[in-house]
Structure 1
Amino acid sequence: MKYVLGIDQSTQGTKAVLFDQEGQIIARADCKHKQLIDENGYVSHNLEEIYHNVIESSRNVIEKAQIDPENIVTIGLSNQRETTVLFDGQGTPLADAIVWQCSRSASTLENLNFSEEEAEQVRKTSGLVLSAYFPASKMRWYLDTLDLQNREDLHFGTIDTWVVYKLTGQFKTDVSNASRTQLFDIHKLQWSEPLCQRFGIDPKWLPEVCDSNANFGMTDLDGVLPHPVSIHAVMGDSHAALFGQGCHEKGNVKTTFGTGSSIMMNIGSEYQESKQGLTTSLAWQIDGQTDYVFEGNINYSGAVITWMLDDLGLIDNSAQSEQYALEANPHDETILVPAFSGLSAPYWNENARAMLTGMSRTTTKKELVKAGLESIDYQIVEILNAMASDSHLPLREVKVDGGPTKNKYLMQFLSDMARSTVRVSKQEELSAIGVAYLAGMSAGLYSKECLFVHRDYIEYVPRMSNELWRVRMERWYDAIERVQKERKKGAFHVDDYKRS
């Protein structure tokens, strides 16, 4: 029996998942890492801890599965995207990683003083709205904040770059991760010299950009394996989940529920520009063939549940959120807008802040929990609406994955508000599945046709009346207006809804 190891390095921790030669999961092991939040609210991760956990989770999953590590033939790696790293040529971190959620570089971006014309050129070149969300301004924050004068061996990148470098000594990334940096020309498929110059980043500090299924180097996982094997797939976690969901055709849509949420639509081999505040990125490049995506990201998805659990103490565990939402008064009008670090797509308002509105004297913690769950779906629905508008394609089906998809209330409400069938994957590890499958295919172990023939889903279909749907959407838009003081021009409105 031959095996493929999928490593998913995510915001909360690292999971290693072992697949047999039929593509079936036989074991999984997880290692959490610390969330480093300082008095300014800056969110960081320790790079050495992350690398240690990559090794430890890999060792643990092999021991758990009780297999001969000699029979592992290749590795796939997915990673938390936009989280930005800086290390030197010896593989020593020069600072903690700046997590994608962290908006510390907002002032950096302000100081760079982009004109409207320049911001538009950034969007047209990189596919991304000018924002501190993306690594370009985070890299510049390092340069402005740390003492890096006369350093010739700076290595900037994303988490995949760090892990690959530590495992193989190769300074590489893939197109999916590069396309999320705001320094990559997604038309020419190379680092953009004008963008690098505008942000003050020397292109020589950036990794080589490869196909998503390239051979990124050989590793024995720091002695865990008896001999080196290839890392034969690297993708950002959302792109890997898109691939793992089988969304390989134009118009396919998936939503990943994690700390935040990534909503992606495969738009095919041709670049398209969003008019509705979405980003355009590269889904992947496989054997030289490129697919693009529309994407919208929200900062607070599963993190809303964590906030209600750890910070407010409204629930004793994540599963209780479903129970409370089902028991809550269905007529309560409480709305939560979880703009704790601003609003991302489609508004891109970093100055917005969270708000609860619509509470009455009869609002209890159960209604607050219901509002928290619903806030996740409202944000996702706004992005789905924008995708329908930009692509001119009906969104009759949305595939979803991630831990929160176990929550029946959350999934039914998403189906109701999206007016679409929601298909929940019975497997949670879609990012690991995506890179493991791609690595196995690239190494000649798997056949794509066999891997994606039979997939198991739980389906939810819309049950809410059109009248109630309209009331609920108007209530959400009213709350968004209150948070922002004014609605963004061109933003989707409930009266624009024409989905079949």
Structure 2
Amino acid sequence: MKYIIGIDAGTSNVKAVLFDVDGNEILVEVLENEPIYIGDTDVEQNMNILWEKVALCIKMIMENGPAKADDILGIGVTGQGEGIWLMDENGEPVQDAILWCDGRAADEVAKVTEDDPKLGEMIFKTTGTPPLTGTQLMLLKWMKNNRKEVLDKAKTMFFCKDWVRYKLTGTINGDMSDTGTSLMDAEKGEVAVDLLKALDLGEYVDLIAPVVISNKIVGNVLDRVAKDLGLNPGTPVVAGAIDVVAAAVGIGAVEDKDICVILGTTCANEIFMKKEDCEFGKEGTRLEKHAVGDLFVNLMPTMNGTPNIDWVLNEIALTKDFSKVDIMIKDVPAGSGGVIYHPYISAAGERAPFYHPHAKANFFGISANTKRADLVHAVYEGITLSIKDCLQGADRNSKIFIAGGGAKSSIWAQMISDVTGMEVVVSAGNEFGAKGVAMMVGLAVGEYESYTDAARRTCKSERIYRPRPDQNAIYEDIYTLYKGIRIACESLWTARADVMKTISKRTREN
């Protein structure tokens, strides 16, 4: 029997997943990741520790699963996107990676959005992505401004999955989906050299790894690595894709006008469209290259999705048992007794469907009658209203494919349908990012004829939810209030950040 290994190096966990060629998850090995949180805004990652965890997961797959080395058709890698992962000429990290959720480049973003808006517009129109704190482009600018001596030691600038793939194969590559986030001219499909020069970053163009399509075999597992992990030397490895694109493929969202929502660390809301229908730099869009043909993704990834759930379970629900939480909130009516929650819990503020580096989460409308269940329910509703916020302009006749840990909750899935007014399809399976890159391997080695064929063979629906008109009508009113509060808070978030800086300064002085 033949198998494929998919690797997903996420923010919270790293995983290796063994799939058969029909897309069934045979074995999953998981290790908790170790992001490093520094102060109020900085988030980093030790690159070597991440690789060691990935390697151990692969080794456990080969030791604990049914597959022998000869059975493995190939390996695909996905991982957290954006951020900046720098490697020197000896193949070693020059520093800890700065992650996508890091907020230190807020001043660099402000420079090109407020002080020089024409440059900000150039970034948006060229790449399809507006200037954001966690993009590699803005972090590259931050590195030049603040750590040039470290940056100048680098030979290659990677994304997470590219670092993992380098450690497997020794080859240096990027792919269209990851590199295209902020470093490529979306129209031309090539590195945006003129943009980098406009940002006074032209000297770093050579740091960008050669870019290929996601399903291209770009290397083979090194002999010494294969020996350590239990693989055959020469096992093929494909370029792979950024996690949100890989997961869309794994769900089966590979056609024009498909929509998917990935309920993970970031709540990734994705609408797929043909390149000819894209308007790069249009307000309300963030267009990135899909792995499939000429399709692009209008990507609206919030900074945090399920971390809001983790927080409310730890601090308010006082249980981590999701079945108990579902029982707790199942009878709470739409609107949570008048409590509205805004899910901007990330250290770096929010980036979709609006950008504000100082956005913070809040409850609105608590009264003496508010119960614990109301607060928990309000957090679920807040994330769901954020999803609706991100999907404004989508065709309501489309279906939403949902995946991620949150998709296991039937209450949440029905809530998403009620809030958006759209049919929601829960895809069978759990590890969709790893599955997506496994499908890319199958395509590369000739197991599947196309992405459509791969989706038809491997992707199945588990449950379907349809909107209830009475609930949808309630949520339309709640959404109007939700958005109004969020807009009203923008100046207050900035004021809060200023106050916190003052407090921090006084604390240091004392």
Task: Give the counterpart letter for 2:447 in structure 1.
Answer: L
Task: Give 1:110's aligned residue.
Answer: 110
1:463 aligned onto 2:468: yes
Give, in whole Å, the separation in 2 of the partners of 1:227 and 1:470: 57
- Tell me the TM-score normalized by structure 1: 0.90
CA contact (8 A) 2:316 2:372 kept: no
Task: Give 1:218's aligned residue.
Answer: 220
Once the two structures are TM-superposed, the CA of residue 233 in structure 1 deviates from its matched residue by 4.1
Q: How does 1:361-376 map to 2 (within 5 A)?
A: 361-376=368-383
CA contact (8 A) 1:86 1:94 kept: yes
- Tell me the TM-score normalized by structure 2: 0.88
1:235-288 C-alpha deviation (Å, 9 max, x unpaired): 111111111222222111111111111111110242512644220110125xxx
**C-alpha spacing 1:149/1:323, structure 2 compared with 1 (3 Å):** closer
1:232 aligned onto 2:238: yes
Task: Give the counterpart letter for 2:305 in structure 1.
Answer: S
Task: Give 1:385's aligned residue.
Answer: 392
Give, in whole Å, the separation in 2 of the partners of 1:360 and 1:395: 38
Task: Give 2:273's aligned residue.
Answer: 267
Task: Give the counterpart letter for 2:338 in structure 1.
Answer: E
Q: Which runs of 5+ in 1 are unaligned?
A: 487-500
**1:48 partner SS:** helix
Give, in whole Å, the separation in 1 of the partners of 2:184 and 2:337: 46
Task: Give 2:5's aligned residue.
Answer: 5
CA contact (8 A) 2:77 2:240 kept: yes
Task: Give 2:319's aligned residue.
Answer: 316
Task: Give 2:406's aligned residue.
Answer: 404
Q: How does 1:52-451 map to 2 (within 5 A)?
A: 52-111=52-111, 115-146=116-147, 148=149, 151=152, 153-180=154-181, 182-201=182-201, 202-220=204-222, 221-223=225-227, 224=229, 225-270=231-276, 272-273=278-279, 275-284=282-291, 289-310=293-314, 312-317=315-320, 319=322, 320-328=324-332, 330=334, 332-340=337-345, 341-386=348-393, 388=394, 393-448=395-450, 449=453, 451=455
Instruction: Give 4+ residue runs of structure 1 displaced > 6 Å after superposition.
Output: none
Once the two structures are TM-superposed, the CA of residue 52 in structure 1 deviates from its matched residue by 0.7
Kindly indicate which of the two structures has a greater share of residues assigned to helix.
2
Instruction: Work out the percentage of aligned pairs sharing the same amino acid.
Output: 24
**C-alpha spacing 1:450/1:111, structure 2 compared with 1 (3 Å):** closer
Once the two structures are TM-superposed, the CA of residue 110 in structure 1 deviates from its matched residue by 3.2
Deviates more, 1:443-452 or 1:22-31: 443-452
CA contact (8 A) 1:354 1:483 kept: no
Give, in whole Å, the separation in 2 of the partners of 1:126 and 1:397: 28
Task: Give the counterpart letter for 2:18 in structure 1.
Answer: L
Once the two structures are TM-superposed, the CA of residue 459 in structure 1 deviates from its matched residue by 0.8
**C-alpha spacing 1:467/1:167, structure 2 compared with 1 (3 Å):** closer
Task: Give the counterpart letter for 2:410 in structure 1.
Answer: K
**2:353 partner SS:** coil
**1:100 partner SS:** coil
**1:16 partner SS:** strand
CA contact (8 A) 1:276 1:346 kept: no
CA contact (8 A) 1:423 1:460 kept: yes
1:73-106 C-alpha deviation (Å, 9 max, x unpaired): 2111111111321121212111111121111111
Give, in whole Å, the separation in 1 of the partners of 2:473 and 2:448: 49
Give, in whole Å, the separation in 2 of the partners of 1:211 and 1:192: 17
Deviates more, 1:322-331 or 1:275-284: 322-331
Task: Give 1:480's aligned residue.
Answer: 486
Give, in whole Å, the separation in 2 of the partners of 1:81 and 1:355: 27
CA contact (8 A) 2:271 2:298 kept: yes
